[in-house]
Amino acid sequence: MRKQEEVINAERAMVGTNVAGRMAGEDRRNQIVHVAMRLFSERGFRGTTTKEIARAAGVSEAIIFRHFATKEELYAAILDTKSCAGNMSQLSEMFAEAVKRGDDRAVFESVALTMLQHHEEDEDFLRLLLYSALEGHELFQMFWQRNVRELADFLRSYVRERQKAGALREMEPRLVGRAFTGMILHQSLINNLFDKSRTLLDITNERAAREFTKILLYGTVSSSAPEAEVKKRNETATRKR
């Protein structure tokens, strides 16, 4: 609630700037994007009109259309503002060395921690994505192509290369990536939307990233389990595939 009040106060301050003097074009554009994103995250896309965005931003609808000729331009600007455009390439640069040396733990932990922190720092955007997905909105399709698909392709490619090197067990690479990102997304939804007080589980993002990586790479079988039983389980799993 405090975060939302800070955003609203910042928006009002920007509107106040316009009363004293004309706001610079880029500042006005950024203000409209932030106001639109806040309203979309609170009411969804179907429940938010350009007239309401204009009113909240303290401008006319004509100003909205001057900066964004189409709805798609506004949605793209929201993604760009949230650093979603090219986000996967930024991630890749962050752990390029880990990928190069085949450091599985470092690669998967980096992916998990980056996602967890991003979701925690930007709850509004997480809500926005849920609204857009449930409403079948264009913004989610744009996000899907820019981020979800790119991340899935990256994980599939990395897992496949590590399988070829004999470091990871043979299984469908895309399922490996989906299982991993599924753990991360579930953690983010629980912590940031459903159980903010963390009554079910209260651990740091760093620890969550480490534990999810361990689950992915090593599973949950105890190292003290009889070797024969572990082998039997693996053979059974192989036959089922």
For residue range 49-63, what is the model confidence (pLDDT) as tens digits? 888 999 999 999 999
pLDDT at res. 223: 59
Report residue 29 as tokens. 């554009």
DSSP string for residues in 172-218: -HHHHHHHHHHHHHHHHHIIIII-TT-SS----HHHHHHHHHHHHHH
Q: Report pLDDT for 134.
A: 82
Q: What is the pLDDT of residue 238?
A: 61
Classify 222 in phi/psi space as left (phi over 0), alpha (psi -120 to 50) or beta: beta
* Confidence bin at 8 (pLDDT 50/70/90): very low
Q: Which residue has the higher pLDDT, 27 or 159?
A: 159
* Residues 182, 115: Cα–Cα separation, whole Å: 11
CB 206 within 8 A of CB 116: no
Residue 77 pLDDT level (bands cut at 50, 70, 90): confident
Assess contact for 81 and 30: CB atoms under 8 A.
Answer: yes
Residues in the chain: 241
The reported pLDDT for the residue numbered 6 is: 44
More confident call, 54 vs 76: 54
Which residue type sits at 5? E
Average pLDDT for residues 83-107, to the nearest whole number?
Answer: 75
Q: In the prediction, which pLDDT does 15 show?
A: 43
Would you tell me how many other CB atoms lie within 10 Å of the CB of residue 179?
15
Name all domains of the chain by residue range, CATH numbers in brackets.
Answer: 7-80 (1.10.10.60), 83-240 (1.10.357.10)
Burial, 223: exposed, middle or buried (Cβ in 10 Å; 0-12, 13-18, 19+)? exposed
pLDDT tens figures, 199-225: 999 999 999 999 999 999 998 766 555
Residue 194 token pair: 């459903």
Q: Evaluate whether 213 touches 105 at the Cβ level (below 8 Å).
A: yes
Q: Pick from 115, 208, 108: which is nearest to 168 by CA?
A: 108
Phi and psi (nearest 5°) for 85?
-70, 120
| Res 16: pLDDT | 43
pTM above 0.85, yes or no: no
Q: Which residues of 103-118 are buried (b: 16+ CB within 10 A; e: fewer)?
A: ebeebbbbbbbbbbeb
184-200 confidence digits (pLDDT tens): 999 999 999 899 999 99
| 18-32, 103-117, 163-177: least confident range | 18-32
Cβ atoms of residues 213 and 201 within 8 Å: no
Q: What is the mean pLDDT of residues 143-163?
A: 89
Cα–Cα separations (whole angstroms), residue 31 to 12, 13, 74, 77, 99: 10, 10, 12, 11, 38
- Across 64-78, 115-129, 190-204, 221-235, which has the greatest mean pLDDT? 190-204
